[in-house]
Structure 1
Amino acid sequence: MDRNIVVLCLDSVRKDYFDAHANRIRDLASVSLEETRAASSWSTPSHASMFTGKLPSEHGYHRYNNDFADLSVDETFLADIPHETTGISANVFAGPEYGFDTIFDNFTVVSTGKRYPGGLDPNRYVLDHEGGTITAMASYFGAALRSEHPVESLANGFAAAVNVATRDAPLPKLLDDGANTVTREVIRTLDEREEPSFIFTNFADAHVPLRPIRGFDRSLFDAPLDWSTDTEDVWTVMENPESHEMYLRHHRDLYVAAIDYLDRQIASLVRNIRTNIGDPTTIIVTADHGENLGEAENDGLIGHKSSLSEALLHVPCYLIDPPDGTEVTTDGYTSLRDIGTLVRGFDEEADVDLGREHVHAEVVGMSPGPNPDADEAYWDRMLRAAYGENEKYVWDSLGSYQCYTVDPERPCWQELAAEDIGLPEWAEEPFSEDIQSYKQLAKRETHKREVDDHTEQRLADLGYR
């Protein structure tokens, strides 16, 4: 590999909203893989599918097994990369808390309390410190001065103190959810390496909870500056959307503002790489999954729980500065399961055929987050999806079957065409076990990684608790 390859994964960003509000990235890209589908609808199974090339029922990482610690590099496309690999992630589920770092040579965690990864983490320090927050922060600044990287540690402490001081004020949040840090770490990594690198990143800025931040374009939303998607219980909103039209509008507007912000951050990163990094660098911009935003065609769902809607599975995939002369063929559909094939092709500067006649996706049980008050068996069901020409079949472990019409000219759109119908043979072809049997097996063999209080707090900040 004589070029850097950087994958920018935008957590929770769906294709239609990206295309409408990320014009800078689209202008910088030379190729768009228009019919790309994720292999699952939330982070753990989708990331595992991207790196292993397998479906969730094959690789085994899902609701009932969130621990990547036993995932070997040899099971991923990273085994084929001859140079150092680096992960930079603002997503807890794609980080060391769940063993995701073990497949990389180097890994950087980005969190709201650790803007400068070389410094101490004030949030973790406060949680581990006995006594009140003020006493803990005073002690933290003393520890920061004595640390290996005092300047970065002090900067982290100052940023955390400002965030806490303004949390309940009628002001936009001063700091973003990691994009600025992730982009800075990408440049630092590329600049420090003498050999080409592979870098995988996860940006969490479009992930709930959404709140106005100082960097958002104020013309894109009119929500109060201290408003948050956490102001209402999502289950209550879904049960009675007519009474929550203002909530849904603010939610969608802030989602737009977050994508616009990511667009500006990433466009700046690309320009920085082109100007200041000497080695040729190819950038892949995509998303691990999308987001339901309460639309009727997606059953009024919000978030990414218990669904395989087009809003969740149809994701952007744009290629910036691919190798000269390399042709990427995409007849039919493209799956994020083939991102390793794309990376290997760029590494070898060879033509890549990513086109598939059919693609498939799965979600095994209910993703993390606040649980419903009732019907847990329904929300915890397993779902599978299979795509053919302008059609999509979805079925679940409770015996429900639907066929949807999809349209390549309408990103993230689907329309119910039929229910309670049989499946074509190709729809079930990649699955070695029927859906009911696998769901029972996965639940019976549950293995969930235990996490510390600091990780629990980060999960709560992301709306997972």
Structure 2
Amino acid sequence: MRNVVLLCLDTVRKDYFDEFAPRLTERAEVVYHQCRAASGWSVPSHASMFTGELPHVHGVHTHARDFTRIDLTETFLEDLPDHARIGVSTNAYASRYYGFDSFFEEFSQVPHAGALQFDHALSPRDPDLWDVGHLEYVRRALQDAHPIRSLTNGVLAKVNPYDLLFSGWPWPEIQDKGTKKALSEATSRILTTECTDRPVFAFLNLMDAHVPMYHHRGLNRELHSVPNSWTSKGGPSAKEVNRNPGQHHEYVRNYEQLYSASIEYLDRQVDAWIDEIQRRTEHPTTIVITADHGENLGSAADEERFEHHSSLSEAILHVPLVLINPPDGYPYTESKLVSHLELGELLVRLAHGERYSFGDEPITGEVIGHTGEDAGGAYWDRLIRCAYTDQRKIRWDSLGRTAVFDLDLDTETRVKRTTADELEGFPIEDTTLFESDILASKRMALECEPQAEQVVNGERKRQLAQMGYL
């Protein structure tokens, strides 16, 4: 049995990974050049990676964001009964609050950027304490083994000196978005579990390439010229940029530069972490690196879209997929189209030291509704589907808009729009490749909305706001 680590570099698109992650690219022993994510944002994409199903089948999407609706037996983890299951996440959606921890025996939620706190004490940022009132928190803090630290954490959660001292001032911020702490936590949990002589499956989500964008001490100054005081916090929303891109040119340019530098930062941190894990683990350890989705950065190749709201562009769906230290028998490169819907099967085969070959079925993707808390109209809240066949991509939505693209797979994400108006209504792929037609799927998704409503408050609201969703 092998250890397997699935490392999700949240929001990292394939072409930028190739350019700004040279260490991981160089040490990769298997590279899948044409991997496509199954959806366009964190919640449905994570669910698809674990179940091998599209959002309209597994039922976790904009209108129903709770992972507890997925039973463990519906995931690939069912086929790893001997592996200890460890999860470490810096993503507020892939968290205890949304039931993501139900997939794991041990789970750590690492706070997002700007979360100063004492370790080994209670904190309002702990998901189990997100919804307790002030008096209840004080009562528990006084009963804790470290009452002074716990009470101080309560104050820091409300009035964070980090934000006062660093955010918006002309010097670098001191913290990343949880990457260092998450990697350290993963190391500790993996090595502790190995002492029990059980192989490990570990999942990590790292958010440094996700909004908010800002310069911190870990970023390479040679890769960007953005002022230390600049941050995407409080800037225009993605919808505002998409509506008036010409008015936000400098904002998009700064964003893109920091996005690039953030991927290079992840490259350095993860590369060093892999060295440590491979040196200190007893079982052979295979590292699988991918992303839940990419990011639109406003260029012509991105269809002049910005961020990942309501989009299935190539910049969103084309993600890295590389293997480090796989078992024998894998090719160095694979150029055919492959899908995250088969990722679970790959991981199970790797855990058993076996080779896996991706199938030849058409690749599909789907996003149901707007990625943020505020849908903002029918266009942003529509259901979008796409299908890849040979060198062609068809994309359509629940408003009856259909576009056809010619893919040039030799130039990675470069696509050219063609014959967008030659198709009327919905293409035949809608009923042949999906379990229910697009309009029925949207209706069923909307029926989940009342049961999915949850109060957005406390630390959950703060973390979602820091991620750009509020």
| TM-score normalised according to structure 2 size | 0.89
Q: Structure 2: state its 5+ residue gaps.
A: none
Deviations 1:324-345 (A, max 9, x none): 3455885621111111111111
Q: Distance in 2 between matches of 1:90 and 1:413?
A: 31
- From 264, 273, 295, the equivalent of 2:277 is 273
Structure 2 counterparts to residues 186-205 of structure 1, below 5 A: 186-193=186-193, 194=195, 195-205=198-208
Q: Structure 1: state its 5+ residue gaps.
A: none
Match of 1:4 in 2: 3
Q: Distance in 2 between matches of 1:115 and 1:405?
A: 51
Structure 2 letter corresponding to 1:223: V
Structure 2 counterparts to residues 96-107 of structure 1, below 5 A: 96-107=96-107
Asked if the contact 1:163–1:175 (Cα under 8 Å) also holds between the matched residues in 2, the reply is no
Asked if the contact 2:90–2:110 (Cα under 8 Å) also holds between the matched residues in 1, the reply is yes
Match of 1:52 in 2: 51
Deviations 1:235-255 (A, max 9, x none): 332222223221111110000
Deviating more after overlay: 122-131 vs 352-361:
122-131
Is residue 122 of structure 2 the alignment partner of residue 120 of structure 1? yes
Deviations 1:41-68 (A, max 9, x none): 0011101100000011111111111111
Count of aligned residue pairs for this structure pair:
454
Q: 1:117 to 1:13 in 2, by over 3 A?
A: farther
Deviation at 1:351, TM superposition (A): 1.7
Q: Distance in 2 between matches of 1:149 and 1:38?
A: 46
Is residue 81 of structure 2 the alignment partner of residue 87 of structure 1? no
Equivalent position SS for 2:93? helix
Is residue 458 of structure 2 the alignment partner of residue 453 of structure 1? yes
Deviating more after overlay: 347-356 vs 454-463:
347-356
Asked if the contact 2:187–2:277 (Cα under 8 Å) also holds between the matched residues in 1, the reply is yes
Match of 1:209 in 2: 212
Q: 1:70 to 1:240 in 2, by over 3 A?
A: closer
Structure 2 counterparts to residues 359-370 of structure 1, below 5 A: 359-369=363-373
Q: Distance in 2 between matches of 1:313 and 1:73?
A: 26
Deviation at 1:122, TM superposition (A): 5.3
Is residue 145 of structure 2 the alignment partner of residue 146 of structure 1? yes
Deviating more after overlay: 252-261 vs 238-247:
238-247
Structure 2 letter corresponding to 1:53: G
Q: Distance in 2 between matches of 1:274 and 1:445?
A: 44
Structure 2 letter corresponding to 1:105: E
Q: Distance in 2 between matches of 1:176 and 1:415?
A: 37
Q: Distance in 2 between matches of 1:165 and 1:122?
A: 21
Q: Distance in 1 between matches of 2:335 and 2:15?
A: 20
Equivalent position SS for 1:354? coil
Equivalent position SS for 1:209? coil
Asked if the contact 1:331–1:356 (Cα under 8 Å) also holds between the matched residues in 2, the reply is no
Equivalent position SS for 2:87? strand
Deviation at 1:410, TM superposition (A): 2.1
Deviations 1:122-177 (A, max 9, x none): 5568996759xxxx9xx89x8698339969x98x9699643543224222221110
Structure 2 letter corresponding to 1:260: E
Deviating more after overlay: 299-308 vs 206-215:
299-308
- From 255, 260, 276, the equivalent of 1:256 is 260
Equivalent position SS for 2:233? helix
Deviation at 1:294, TM superposition (A): 1.0
Asked if the contact 1:387–1:427 (Cα under 8 Å) also holds between the matched residues in 2, the reply is no
Structure 1 letter corresponding to 2:16: Y
Q: 1:130 to 1:51 in 2, by over 3 A?
A: closer
Q: Distance in 1 between matches of 2:121 and 2:200?
A: 24
Q: Distance in 1 between matches of 2:378 and 2:98?
A: 26
Q: 1:66 to 1:118 in 2, by over 3 A?
A: farther
Asked if the contact 1:32–1:318 (Cα under 8 Å) also holds between the matched residues in 2, the reply is yes
Structure 2 letter corresponding to 1:386: A
Is residue 379 of structure 2 the alignment partner of residue 378 of structure 1? yes
Is residue 248 of structure 2 the alignment partner of residue 244 of structure 1? yes
Q: Percent identity?
A: 36
Deviating more after overlay: 270-279 vs 397-406:
270-279
Is residue 435 of structure 2 the alignment partner of residue 432 of structure 1? yes
Is residue 228 of structure 2 the alignment partner of residue 225 of structure 1? yes
Q: Distance in 2 between matches of 1:319 and 1:84?
A: 20
Asked if the contact 1:12–1:288 (Cα under 8 Å) also holds between the matched residues in 2, the reply is yes
Q: 1:433 to 1:210 in 2, by over 3 A?
A: same
Q: Give the aligned CA root-mean-square deviation in angstroms.
A: 2.9
Match of 1:293 in 2: 297
Deviations 1:272-308 (A, max 9, x none): 1222223210000000000111123433221111111
